[in-house]
Amino acid sequence: MKQQEFLVEKVFYDLENKNEGLEEDKNYFSENDFASILLRAEHYGIGIFNMEAYHDGKLFGTDNHEVYRKKATHPQWYKSAFGKFKRAQKDMLYRADFKVSQKLLDRPD
């Protein structure tokens, strides 16, 4: 299984991609949907390298695991970053750069 297939089947299922005129090949999610994604990423141990927040179609802010001095798979960094963005501005869209381990991709269903 490829990484994008895994994300669609195991992480993004039942969630709405809100990509409205933003980068064509990227997934953007509402605050509630992104919260679900973070929980699912934590469950599977998926790495999140970067997180971006958008307001009114413009980049509001970005954060990454290196700023927090945590591994990409450590949920503390991405939960903190998400909380910071949520407190700063309501009604944003979120996206992230994920890394699914080969071990997860090779697992049979």
Q: What is the pTM of this model?
A: 0.91
Q: What pLDDT shows up at residue 15? A: 95
Q: Rounded CA gap, 61 and 38, in Å?
A: 18
pLDDT of 65-107, one tens digit each?
999 999 999 999 999 999 999 999 999 999 999 999 999 999 8
Q: Phi and psi of 43, rounded to 5°?
A: -60, -45
Q: For the residues 1-22, what does the mean pLDDT come to? A: 87
Q: What pLDDT shows up at residue 53? A: 97
CB 50 within 8 A of CB 64: yes
pLDDT of 43-61, one tens digit each?
999 999 999 999 998 999 9
What residues contact 106, with CB distance under 8 A and at least 6 apart?
A: 1
What residues contact 100, with CB distance under 8 A and at least 6 apart?
A: 3, 6, 7, 44, 46, 47
